[in-house]
Structures are given as C-alpha cells and as structure tokens.
C-alpha cells in the first residue's frame, strides 16, 4: 500500500511538471550521467528512474554507453526513450541477479522528461524476457519486435525476407508493456477515493492519463505507436478521426488505444498496411454518406 501511495503522489507530482520542483531538476541533472543502480544489498523493491535527454537528438554512441542501447531514428522516439530507460535498468539489474518490470511509465513533453516506476525482484534474464530489439521500416512504416535469436535475420514483410537498408533496428531495450494494469487500476481507484479524479464539475487530467495508461498496458499491444499523419500520408488521404479509426480497428478484432505520449497517434497490433486500408474504407464511407446527404437535399 505504501508503494501505491508513492505511485499516486508521483503521478500528481509529474503532472505539475519538472520546472516547479528543484528536487526533480536535481534528479534530472544527476541522471544526465551514465545510469548506475545501487549495489544489490540496497535494492528496493521499487525504483523510480528519470531521464531528461531528447531521445530524437540523442547521440547513438552516448545512448549505447549510458543505457546500453543503440537507438536509431524512429517515428516514436519518445516511446523508445522510455523503453531505453527501462532496458538500461534491466541490464544493470540483471548484472546483480534482479529483474525489473514497469509499474508505470510516463513521458512529459515539458523538458522533455522520461520517468518510470519499476518493480525490482530476483530473477535472471532469459530468451522470453522483454529485453530485445525494435525495428522500423522506412519503406512501408511497419514496426516489429525481435528477440536476440533473430539478430542477423531481421527483415520486413515488404522486402520478402531480403536484407534492406530501409529497416532500422534499435536496442536492446524493454519490449514489454509500459505499465502494470493492476497497479495503475489501483492508482485510479485511490485517485477517485481522494477526489483527484473527475467529478460532476470537471474532468481531471489525472483520471484521463491513468485511463490511457490502463489501455496502453494491454500485453497484446506491441512497441511503438502509429501517427495518424503517417497513415494519412501513406494512404494519400486526409488524416482520419482518431476515435473513428480506433473504433474500426477494434471492430476488426485488433487491440487499439490512444498513446499518452502523442495525442495524434494510436497504439495497435494491426500492421500499418491494414491501418491504411481501414483508413481508406473510413474515407470512402464518409464520402458516400456525404454524397447521399447531398442527393436527398
Ligand atoms: Zn517494410
């Protein structure tokens, strides 16, 4: 329960932004140095980590030396930043016989600041651990998650298994869910009990962000997100309404939700090629509906 309270407090603290808190700024400054976890005898069962680098501009060699990850440019670089931070912690923890799993992860564009709360427990990395690689194809926009055994065999379906310069790979980093569903759900319950959530007068940012985190914690969702602008650009149509494409994806049986990192993006296990088809169908349905409305006037 203490850790739940800490989680709620941290969540509210994060909403205020780093500029108001000297402690947060000191922490950011401290963490601009290479990450190092405490010796094993001092490991808590909860660890809070913070990073204030702009991942999109991060030097690849610096990210490799500080977080153990070689990060290539990808459209969802801020989610990669959270995954790099958790992955760096996984690497440090594994060296001492521990594993980490995120209770929640939070990206704030003020700064920017990347924060994660991790559960630390005894264990060893193995082939099924969520510590691997993410690839993105610049040719077709497809993203994939890869385990270590796939190194040397990474390709994209659009290249029919052929090696291609259009595929970039980042890692190793955390490839599992960014949040723990049960933990964030309990945070939401407490937020409601304490009057921090929505009430009859106004809707709270805390409730909104916690609900988004619960949606994002679905283990079916892969790493990364798809910007609606990218779907629109590749489909050569106007950007589809976010709620409409989420609804259509769910109707087709895919997991889909908003991203707390980018308001104009979706997280889904639907391949981008299928997203483009669904976006075009939505456009066609809207066009025929408009045509019908004009005809009946
Ligand atoms: Zn491709």
Q: How far is CA 138 from CA 37, 63, 162, 183, in A?
A: 35, 22, 15, 36
Please answer whether residues 158 and 139 qualify as being in contact, where contact means their C-beta atoms are separated by less than 8 angstroms.
Answer: yes
Position 14 scores a pLDDT of 40
Q: Is the pLDDT of residue 5 over 60?
A: no
Same domain, 137 and 252: no
Ligand 1 center to 199 CA (angstroms)? 46
The model's pLDDT over 106-162, given as tens digits with 9 standing for 90+, comes to: 998 887 889 999 999 999 998 889 999 999 999 999 999 999 999 999 999 998 878
210 inside domain: no
Please answer whether residues 131 and 39 qualify as being in contact, where contact means their C-beta atoms are separated by less than 8 angstroms.
Answer: no
The model's pLDDT over 263-293, given as tens digits with 9 standing for 90+, comes to: 999 999 999 999 999 999 999 887 776 666 6
Please answer whether residues 173 and 87 qualify as being in contact, where contact means their C-beta atoms are separated by less than 8 angstroms.
Answer: yes
Count each helix (H run) and each strand (E run) in the chain, helices first: 9, 9
Q: How many domains does the chain have?
A: 2
Decide: helix, strand or coil at residue 193.
helix
89 inside domain: yes
Mean pLDDT confidence for 16-35: 42
106 inside domain: yes
Same domain, 99 and 13: yes
Ligand 1 center to 70 CA (angstroms)? 21
Q: Is the pLDDT of residue 68 over 60?
A: yes
- Of 182, 212, 245, the position where a domain reaches its end is 182
158 inside domain: yes
Position 260 scores a pLDDT of 96
User: Looking at residue 70, what DSSP letter applies?
Assistant: B
Q: Classify the C-alpha dihedral 258-259-260-261 as positive or negative.
A: negative
Same domain, 23 and 128: yes
Please answer whether residues 145 and 222 qualify as being in contact, where contact means their C-beta atoms are separated by less than 8 angstroms.
Answer: yes
213 inside domain: no
Ligand 1 center to 79 CA (angstroms)? 20
Residues with CB under 5 A from ligand 1 (ion): 137, 139-140, 142, 156, 158
Q: Is the pLDDT of residue 103 over 70?
A: yes
215 inside domain: no
- Strand 167-174 with 226-227, pairing: unpaired
201 inside domain: no
Q: What is the CATH number of the domain that holds 245?
A: 3.30.56.70
Q: What is the CATH number of the domain that holds 99?
A: 3.40.50.150
Ligand 1 center to 193 CA (angstroms)? 47
- Of 114, 148, 182, the position where a domain reaches its end is 182
Ligand 1 center to 262 CA (angstroms)? 23
Extract the tokens encoding 50. Answer: 């913070």
Domain that holds residue 231: 225-297
For residues 223 and 118, give the distance between their C-alpha atoms in angstroms, rounded to a whole number. Answer: 18
């Amino acid at each position: 329960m203490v850790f739940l309270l800490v989680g709620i407090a941290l969540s509210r603290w994060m909403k205020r932004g780093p500029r108001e808190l000297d402690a947060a700024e000191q922490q950011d400054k401290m963490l601009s140095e290479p990450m190092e976890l405490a010796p094993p005898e001092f490991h808590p069962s909860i660890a809070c980590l913070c990073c204030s680098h702009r991942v999109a501009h991060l030097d690849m060699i610096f990210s490799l030396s500080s977080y153990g990850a070689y990060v290539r440019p990808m459209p969802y670089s801020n989610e990669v930043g959270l995954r790099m931070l958790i992955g760096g912690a996984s690497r440090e923890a594994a060296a001492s016989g521990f594993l980490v799993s995120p209770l929640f992860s939070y990206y704030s564009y003020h700064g920017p600041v990347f924060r994660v709360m991790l559960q630390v427990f005894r264990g060893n990395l193995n082939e099924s651990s969520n510590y691997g690689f993410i690839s993105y194809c610049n040719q077709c926009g497809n993203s994939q998650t890869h385990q270590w055994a796939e190194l040397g065999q990474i390709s994209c379906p659009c290249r029919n298994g052929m090696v291609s310069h259009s595929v970039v790979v980042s890692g190793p980093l955390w490839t599992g869910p960014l949040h723990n569903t049960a933990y964030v759900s309990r945070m939401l319950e407490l937020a409601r009990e304490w009057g921090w959530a929505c009430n009859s007068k106004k809707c709270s940012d805390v409730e909104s962000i916690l609900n988004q985190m619960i949606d994002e914690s679905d283990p079916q969702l892969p790493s990364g997100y798809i910007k609606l602008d990218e779907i629109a650009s590749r489909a050569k149509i106007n950007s589809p309404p976010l709620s409409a494409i989420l609804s259509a994806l769910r109707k087709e049986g895919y997991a889909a939700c908003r991203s707390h990192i980018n308001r104009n993006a979706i997280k889904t296990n639907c391949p981008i090629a299928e997203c483009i088809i669904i976006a075009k169908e939505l456009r066609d349905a809207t066009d025929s509906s408009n045509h019908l409305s004009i005809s009946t006037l």
